[in-house]
Structure 1
Amino acid sequence: MSTRIRVLLADDHAVLRSGLEALLALEDDVEVVGQAGTGEEAVEKTRLLRPDVVVMDLAMPEMDGLEATRRIAALALETHVLVLTSQTEEEYLVPVLEAGASGFVRKTSADVDLLQAIRTVAGGEVFLYPSATRVLLSKYQQAREPQNPGPLAKLSDREREVLTLTAEGYSSAEVGKKLFLSPKTVDTYRARMMQKLGLSHRAELVRLALETGMLKTN
């Protein structure tokens, strides 16, 4: 990216925020523009600072991270929420995506995964661990049988291919390589799909593919 990724850190532990800021300060392409200790503060600082990425804890006073994520998504800014939490994927991954977040990182892996996750969601992609797709599939299969395609009937065959690969966690470059398309063309297909489906976040594409049974376990 030609400009630095502007990051807001939202966590109720000041020591953790300071540690994360020190970690990110080592990178030339990342800049921490603010910190928040509560969910309400995270929403307000997002409104004022308009960061590219909000690194959001789930367990915070006054307003938890899920509600703060929903409110940030409702602002319709070019801001992506990356959840950084000690909570388990099994319990929180689906609510996190439904709230509008673009990624899920475990605090125990932050030193290894956080920078990659920030860069991934800042580029408009969804960051999930390989195990996350299995968690999502399990949750949706427990809740319902695969549904009629419904809104997916609006999509072309190529758009459905792009949607499926997106839901499986592939980046634009990786989707393009698989389908013999340029990354820019893949982005165009995604933008067209989102417009047809009335979606505003790429994480919603992942959820839709799961809800309609486009992804299946082997």
Structure 2
Amino acid sequence: MVKVITVVVADDHAMFRAGIKALIEADSTMTVVGEASTGDEAVKCVHSLRPDVVLMDLSMPEYNGLEATRRIAALGFDTKVLVLTVHAEEEYLVPVVEAGASGYLTKTSADTDLLEAIKVVARGQVFLPPSATTLLLKRYKEDESDDKVSLHTLSSREQEVLALTAEGFSSREIGKKLFISPKTVDTYRSRIMQKLGLSHRSELVRFALRVGLLKQI
């Protein structure tokens, strides 16, 4: 039996939430388990409902979708954040990825790409439109040669953990893929960050983009 993907829709416009909910629930493989109209409500929904995916608008009251995404990522749950926004510019895209989102989709393409995007991020993969991937690769092209030298200081297992972390997988998910415990994954990640001189997950994402580990997303 196929597992139903649970979704929380976070947007401050009730009519938009209703439309997105109808679109999602027309697909038998997913269901909306909660709604939020503010960033604070979105975080509380994740804490109480533990959904597979949160559809996150960037422009919401109290605190915005970007801050809500950071707070959800900090919870350490397996919930993935898919940002659904009217903004397509690089100035929004880069902070979204660095905040810990697993995907980015404009509202204008929601009718054609939303369901597939939800399925992709629910599998633990990253969903970005081709144009967004190009922007990110261009953004992180600087210092690529120095980064590749740093990459060679990592063992093959450390490089695997780095790539999976940058793709948005949790410690538990990485552990299952590599047949090691979540605690061991955390140890590898700490060692990676120490070797590379990094202190945040967002820096791991930037590094992985620069050295080409995420070119296939």
Normalising by structure 1, report the TM-score. 0.76
Partners of 1:88 and 1:107 lie apart in 2 by 9
**Tell me, which stretches of 5 or more residues in structure 1 are unaligned?**
170-183
- Report the residue type matching 1:98 in the other structure: E
Q: Where do residues 41-190 of structure 1 align in structure 2 (5 Å cutoff)?
A: 41-141=41-141, 144-146=142-144, 147-148=146-147, 149-150=149-150, 153-156=153-156, 187-188=177-178
Contact 1:102/1:203 (8 A) holds in 2: no
Give me the CA root mean square deviation: 3.4
* 2:78 counterpart SS class: coil
- Report the residue type matching 1:117 in the other structure: A
1:188 Cα deviation from its structure 2 partner: 2.5
Residue 140 and residue 111 in structure 1: after superposition, are their counterparts in 2 closer, same or farther (change >3 A)? same
Partner in structure 2 of residue 208 of structure 1: 207
Normalising by structure 2, report the TM-score. 0.77
Identity in percent: 53
Partner in structure 1 of residue 40 of structure 2: 40
Partner in structure 2 of residue 173 of structure 1: none
1:3 Cα deviation from its structure 2 partner: 1.4
Residue 58 and residue 116 in structure 1: after superposition, are their counterparts in 2 closer, same or farther (change >3 A)? same
* 2:105 counterpart SS class: strand
* 1:34 counterpart SS class: strand
1:189 Cα deviation from its structure 2 partner: 8.7
1:78 Cα deviation from its structure 2 partner: 1.2
- Report the residue type matching 1:207 in the other structure: R
Contact 1:9/1:36 (8 A) holds in 2: yes
1:205 Cα deviation from its structure 2 partner: 5.9
- Superposed structure 1 runs of 4+ greater than 4 Å apart: 158-167, 189-195, 202-206
Aligned length: 197
Partner in structure 1 of residue 198 of structure 2: none
